Amino acid sequence: MNTRSIKVFVTSIAAFTATQFSSSQSTAESARLNQALDAYMRLPTPVERSRAEALEAEKRAAEVRALNTSSAHAVLLDRIGNASNGHDLAKYHDLLKNMMPNMKSEFFARANGESNPLSKRRFMRVTDAFWGQDAARFLVAQLDDKRSTEPNTQTDPRAVRVCDIALNVLDKNIGKELDIHVGFGTGGGDTIVRDVPIEKRDQWIATLKAALIAKYGPDLNVPDKK
């Protein structure tokens, strides 16, 4: 084996070793993250926690936050996209509010790129953990998406759609700041539910979208929550 061949061989071995080490490190990191998330998700929702449970939640959240890498964030975002119920989403929402700043851009990159309407619904439900211009832009972009967010209901005229969820989150966070009236004024809960006729939903969506642009401009310069 000549000198050139030896150099190529050594370089290949070094590259392979580095790849294996990186893969092993990522696997170990994912395991630690999932362990911390499993413990966190076993706790009650934030409003239901005792003092001891709140302290335990803070501890587990700190463990998740410490794993501040793109691969760790991808694991967390996968779990959010596959959350099974509203209670789990409430826990993820609370967790996201305390993540490192770089989590925000990764969250919106994933949420904007999500093609499955059921998973997109879950991301929309926790979007206001990062409330501000990015959240408003993401949600307004969904107001034209008429796909159902309910499993096996693509032809159900009463199904809650992507655009309906977007309106619900927008109205919850910014509706009171707009000089409009959407919803039936029953208080609490979502603005749009299955019982609201499609024509009424579309009217509310158009009203809210126009009001948002009128108040905050086409760039939706919505202030962050303080």
Any domain includes 22: no
pLDDT for the residue numbered 24: 55
Give me the number of domains the chain comprises: 2
Do 80 and 147 belong to one domain? no
Same domain, 186 and 131: yes
The larger pLDDT score, comparing residue 7 to residue 158, is at 158
Contact criterion met (CB below 8 Å) for 111 and 123: yes
Mean residue pLDDT of the chain comes to 88
93 and 53 in one domain? yes
175-197 average pLDDT score: 83
End residue of a domain, out of 73, 100, 127: 100
Domain boundary among 100, 126, 149: 100
Q: Do both 134 and 74 map to the same domain?
A: no
**Is residue 209 included in any domain, yes or no?**
yes
Query: Can you tell me the mean pLDDT for 181-207?
Result: 86
- The single residue listed with the structure tokens 């305390």 is 98
3-class SS at 148?
strand
* 3-class DSSP assignment, residue 161: strand
Domain that residue 122 falls in:
117-226
187 pLDDT above the threshold of 70 = no
pLDDT number for residue 4: 64
pLDDT of 56 > 50? The answer is yes
In a domain, 4, yes or no: no
The set of long-range contacts for 184-191, using a CB threshold of 8 Å and a minimum separation of 24, is 191/167
**Is position 178 within any domain?**
yes
Cβ-Cβ contacts under 8 Å for 22 (sequence gap 6 or more):
none
